[in-house]
Structure 1
Amino acid sequence: MDFRTIGCVELNSVAWGMHIADEMVKSASVKIVLARPTCPGRYIVIISGDTSAVQSAVEVGRELGADMTVDSFTIPSVHPDVLPAMSGTTVAPKIDALGVIETYTTAACILAADAAAKSAEVQLIEVRMAAGLAGKSYVTMTGDVGSVRAAVESGVAGVGEAGPVHSHVVIPSPSEELKPHLM
């Protein structure tokens, strides 16, 4: 499947999340990339397809979710590092500088990861989605210090109106003790 355009609806209800996932795929020619509960009792639906179909399905999800909708997005031309970082299939890179962006929603974190990866020569390490994080999510990335600083700045700005960023940091030279705990 071509994962060029992805869309997301994050909901405050597991039951409604399942219902919305079903309605989204019935409303347009899209495929589910991910549909699962996250903390604290939220549900995330990520779909893929052509841009207009994804936009249409996300709008259906937002409308049906109404006040249960926490966040949403559509990303045309998603960066190729985003999905492997979300699924934990990133090949462990050599870690130079480390950048971290922590957000209040999973959708905002994915937006930050995409914006960061598109803005500078960095490699995404992981997008950790809300599991055991009280609903927050974070993305980690590596590269040279200047690239990581630029990527973190762009990632924070890339969240836009999706929700506030909780925190962000650039660690110019992470310790060897920390590195094994990053993936």
Structure 2
Amino acid sequence: MATAIGMVELTSIARGIETCDYMVKAAQVDLLRSSTVCPGKYMIIVGGETGDVRAAMAEGIKRGGELVVDTLMLPNVHEQLIPAISMTNQVDVRGAVGVLEFYSIASAIIAADVAAKAANITLIEVRTGYAIGGKGFVTLTGDVGAVRAAVEAARKDAELLVETTVIPRPDKKLFDALL
């Protein structure tokens, strides 16, 4: 089986924390993120083998009940996606910078996976909703052509897209701030 990620977003922080506990007890999954999300929501992201993530998601949706506002089940994710969500991706070569901004956390996660599969780029980070009004955004780097191709592939069928940009030669100070 392939590596997958699943996300459950709830309107209640208390129910979110409880749901997280049920999800990680339901299957052999890694807890990638469990945190509050602006404005006053709670998000749980788990990763692991596809079957285990499906089982954890089913339990999360059941336990979250009427307070679940968004879910995402993404099988066969690119190997860079989980480290980018966990903010542990290593950026060895600095190049052009691409940014994809979304009104939805789920949309940002999907776009990051699409971008990483579309071109030879490095995901810097997938930011998920905290202190940014519940939005999600993706930063990535690589040579200019690859970054443009990745951003275009991700924006092609994207939902809830706000804006994208490609910075061909970012200043070192900007790049340092993104890491």
Q: Which residue of 1 aligns with 2:41?
A: 42
Amino acid aligned to 2:171: S
Residue aligned with 1:178, SS: helix
1:142 Cα shift? 0.8
Q: Does the 8 Å CA contact 2:6/2:53 hold for their aligned counterparts? A: yes
Q: Once the two structures are aligned, what percentage of the paired residues are identical?
A: 41
Q: How does 1:31-180 map to 2 (within 5 A)?
A: 31-157=30-156, 159=158, 163-180=159-176
Q: Name the CA distance, whole Å, in 1 between partners of 2:49 and 2:101.
A: 29
Q: Does the 8 Å CA contact 1:115/1:155 hold for their aligned counterparts? A: yes
Residue aligned with 2:115, SS: helix
Corresponding pairs, count? 179
Amino acid aligned to 2:89: T
Q: Which residue of 2 aligns with 1:18?
A: 17
Amino acid aligned to 2:177: H
Q: Does the 8 Å CA contact 1:115/1:158 hold for their aligned counterparts? A: no
Deviations 1:49-106 (A, max 9, x none): 3313322332342344344323221222221111222222222333221110111222
Q: After the TM superposition, which of the residue ranges 164-173 and 47-56 deviates more from structure 2?
A: 47-56
Residue aligned with 2:172, SS: coil
Q: Does the 8 Å CA contact 1:141/1:148 hold for their aligned counterparts? A: yes
CA gap 1:14/1:52 in 2 versus in 1, 3 angstroms: same
Deviations 1:132-176 (A, max 9, x none): 1111121100111221111112222464xxx41121111222233
1:8 Cα shift? 1.0
Q: Name the CA distance, whole Å, in 1 between partners of 2:5 and 2:109.
A: 10
Residue aligned with 2:116, SS: helix
Amino acid aligned to 2:174: L
Residue aligned with 1:61, SS: helix
1:3 Cα shift? 8.1
Q: Does the 8 Å CA contact 2:32/2:86 hold for their aligned counterparts? A: no
Structure 2, gaps ≥5 residues long:
none
Q: Name the CA distance, whole Å, in 2 between partners of 1:44 and 1:50.
A: 20
Amino acid aligned to 2:50: T
Q: Name the CA distance, whole Å, in 2 between partners of 1:155 and 1:5.
A: 19
Q: Name the CA distance, whole Å, in 2 between partners of 1:148 and 1:180.
A: 18
Structure 1, gaps ≥5 residues long:
none
Q: After the TM superposition, which of the residue ranges 56-65 and 133-142 deviates more from structure 2?
A: 56-65
